Structure 1
Amino acid sequence: MISDSLPKLETSAKGRIWSFDFTICWSVALAYYIGYFMFLPTLPPHLVSIGLSNSEAGLVIGSFAITAAVTRPLIGVLCDRGLAKSVILAGLAMATVAAAGLNWARAVPFLVGLRLLQGGGMSAFTSANGMVVANVIPSSRRGEAMSYYFLPQGVGMAVAPLLGTLLLEGSGFGIVAYSAAAIMTCSVLLATRVSKAASRPAESGPPKTTLFCKSAVQPLIVGFSVYVAWGGLAAYLPIFVYDRQIGSPGTFFTIYAVVLFCSRFFAGRVSDRYGRSAGIYGGAGLMVAALLIIAFGGSMVALSIAAVLLGLGNGLVLPAFLALAVDKAPAEERGQAVSTVAMGTDTGTALGAMLLGPIVDAAGFVAMFIGAAAVVMAGLLVFFVLSKIEGDRVISNCRTCS
């Protein structure tokens, strides 16, 4: 049982979002994601440059998601036992060590080990940090707050890949790795300021030992289907663009990141005002449209339109299904709920390239993007059916949340 000597965290249905702990968690996330996304465009060419084959490089890159997905449930249990701050610090420390180590590792087993460590660190940090945020935000503004909370991810995605590329081309991968590690060290120092009160479950209750939060099944399905599509898109869009000679994949991802960043300022309010289903159906629908435009567009203009729709769609759907997971979970199970949903997004991202890749080989890129859109639509269909079966009022009206 969590010690009763800890100060009680006061939250209310109506209150401010930018509390001390929320601001600290937001700042920690910003530093982490800048360091994390510096590896997005730099690690693959580095692995090839040190002698790895394409398949070996793919193994190293993909191994990241294994520990990220597998460790989520256990991390959720630890967070619900009042250990969120310790988990945050441990996760950030793991990510920092792995970032620095990627520069000197050369053998595939060592590289895979570092990526597994990096994935475990990400799993620990994002789950625990998300649980703390869920504890300190007002319930009536949960969707809006979650949207603000994901702003650092958009900033990191917009800024860090360009920064990493400039460092790689100017000074080599070593500077990239050590710079990322230095930035992540700042996140560790900031995380020490998270309060003990924010790290404990919002309400006292018997500690749970289950590794899977049943109340999070619906948002898990949405997150999994959306991120299967994202995993395939991230893996094959650059190849598709170069193959068709229709522009630059960098331009696509820059537009996407900028729109995603801007959407964080308003998209979360949609699910607060109109219900979680509005954000989920609206956001996922925009993502389906974006995938179909990519499949049939065939020009940089079409890619740009698709990037805008994809950014808006992600901006709507992500805070909506994460807020729904928190809405539906008992207060003492919020850590498990966040971890369960994150496990779905991790698994979806990892499986996206593997599930959709054979479609590229067998039927081409157009069929793959159509398949990705179909996965999202299937996830929405399952979500709709489960919503009707359960009759969850919280999905259509978040004002019922406590």
Structure 2
Amino acid sequence: MYTLSFWLLCVSNFLFCASFQMMIPELPDHLTRLGGREYVGLIIALFTLTAGLSRPFSGKITDTVGRVPVMAFGSVVCFLCGFLYPYLLTVGGFLTLRLVHGFSTGTKPTATSAYVADIVPADRRGEAMGMLGLFTAMGMSLGPAIGSWLAESYSLDAMFWTSSAFALLSILILIQMPETLVNTQPFRFGLLKLRKNEIFDRQAIPPFVVLLLQSFSSGVVLTVVAGLSSSLGIANKGLFFSVYTLASLAVRLVFSRSSDRHGRVPVLLISTSVLAVAMATLMFTHSTILFWTAAVLFGMSWGMNSPTITAWTADLSDEATRGRAMATMYIALEAGIGIGAVAAGWLLNRFGMAQGMYVSFGASAGLALLAVGYLVTRPK
């Protein structure tokens, strides 16, 4: 199962995720210095908006032109945007770049998931997605800590340019990767015209609903946790991301085949329940002990959830429309993160830091419990 193509894909994913993730902890303060404090919630929301809007297109292109070209396009966008951040120093310019940057995650992960599903046996998809997720999680774990270190030790510009360099490396790895789609077509602009049945894959509805409810919490965490870190006296605002991702890595290493053996839904019931506990813990966090406990629980939940829900989507999809099914799943991810980020930003501006965080984390815990209820009662 673990071919050279698979390992190259894993390394490329590590570099790609580290690229866009390393700047996340520093962007709220950067936007505030530009004079856009009231738009902090849009940092994640705009990024996820274009990511979500591009999903149906990336799904169709993945199923027609091929997996590799779509992966390469996503890395190119990430490379260009990372390079341009130091030069767009107005609020409008920054927010526009965040909008464009979202095309990167709206394309590459869709094609990557379809590629992995193509090259591994169906009964080992959970394990394969877990291994791919291991590299993804390492990128998302190390990225924020590296970004904050670069910003503190050198400059914000150094962080942006390092982000761009990581994206460039992720492109170079893909150059010689063999295509897995059998009947490829040359790209033409007519492929960007979508019919109604090409926007959304109905077979992916159960994963869509669950991931939409779960990912609200990620939008909240991305928007709020940097402020919570500062209020607790933690200087490196990226450490929460590192701790939760390291916990995610540990879970993936130990339980990578759990959904292959015990089923997708039973594992999702456990992971979503742990997510609810993590967000409830953040509600009442007034000490570093609770803060790090919540980080570990949050990482454990996503360490089980991410590979399982991706494998579940692949199970439910048809081979000919696998890209569309993956795109549908990722639409839920982007929509949930975007809604969570906007809601958290609004709550912080409306009620202040302390009350805004309390309500944001509480809403996240409630939606996670709603996802548990859906998994239990959903139509079979």
Q: TM-score normalised to the size of structure 1?
A: 0.84
CA displacement, residues 270-326 of structure 1 (integer Å, 9 cap, x when unaligned): 111100012210101111111122223533222222222211111111111111110
Give the aligned partner of residue 188 of structure 2: none
Give the aligned partner of residue 328 of structure 1: 316
Distance 1:201 1:151 in 2: 31
Task: Choose which of 199, 213, 217 in structure 2 pairs with 1:229.
Answer: 217
Offset at residue 22 of structure 1 (A): 1.3
CA displacement, residues 57-83 of structure 1 (integer Å, 9 cap, x when unaligned): 543553111110101011101111142
Tell me if the contact between 2:126 and 2:256 (Cα under 8 Å) persists in the aligned partners.
Answer: yes
Give the aligned partner of residue 279 of structure 1: 267
Give the aligned partner of residue 288 of structure 2: 300
Aligned residue for 1:298, secondary structure, equals: coil
Amino acid at match of 1:370: G
Offset at residue 260 of structure 1 (A): 1.0
Amino acid at match of 2:309: F
TM-aligned CA distance change 1:182 to 1:366, over 3 Å: closer
Alignment of 1:1-400 (within 5 A): 16=1, 18-49=2-33, 51-196=34-179, 198-200=180-182, 210-240=198-228, 242-243=230-231, 245=232, 250-357=238-345, 361=350, 364-386=356-378, 389=379, 391=380
Tell me if the contact between 1:221 and 1:383 (Cα under 8 Å) persists in the aligned partners.
Answer: no
Amino acid at match of 1:379: A
CA displacement, residues 83-102 of structure 1 (integer Å, 9 cap, x when unaligned): 22111111111111111011
Alignment size in residue pairs = 365
Tell me if the contact between 1:69 and 1:343 (Cα under 8 Å) persists in the aligned partners.
Answer: yes
CA displacement, residues 106-154 of structure 1 (integer Å, 9 cap, x when unaligned): 2333323322221102211111111111111111111111111111222
Amino acid at match of 1:35: S
Tell me if the contact between 1:201 and 1:334 (Cα under 8 Å) persists in the aligned partners.
Answer: no
Aligned residue for 1:71, secondary structure, equals: helix
Greater displacement, 216-225 / 153-162: 153-162
Distance 1:359 1:187 in 2: 37
Kindly report the root-mean-square deviation, in angstroms, between the aligned alpha carbons of the 2 structures. 2.3
Amino acid at match of 2:362: I
CA displacement, residues 237-274 of structure 1 (integer Å, 9 cap, x when unaligned): 3434544x486765433321211122221333111110
Distance 2:215 2:273 in 1: 14
Any gaps of 5 or more consecutive residues in structure 2?
A: 185-193
Tell me if the contact between 1:105 and 1:111 (Cα under 8 Å) persists in the aligned partners.
Answer: yes
Distance 1:292 1:25 in 2: 36
Distance 1:287 1:76 in 2: 28
Distance 2:31 2:230 in 1: 21
Distance 2:125 2:113 in 1: 12
Distance 1:74 1:199 in 2: 17
Greater displacement, 112-121 / 349-358: 349-358
Distance 1:166 1:254 in 2: 13
Tell me if the contact between 1:24 and 1:193 (Cα under 8 Å) persists in the aligned partners.
Answer: no
Any gaps of 5 or more consecutive residues in structure 1?
A: 1-15, 392-402
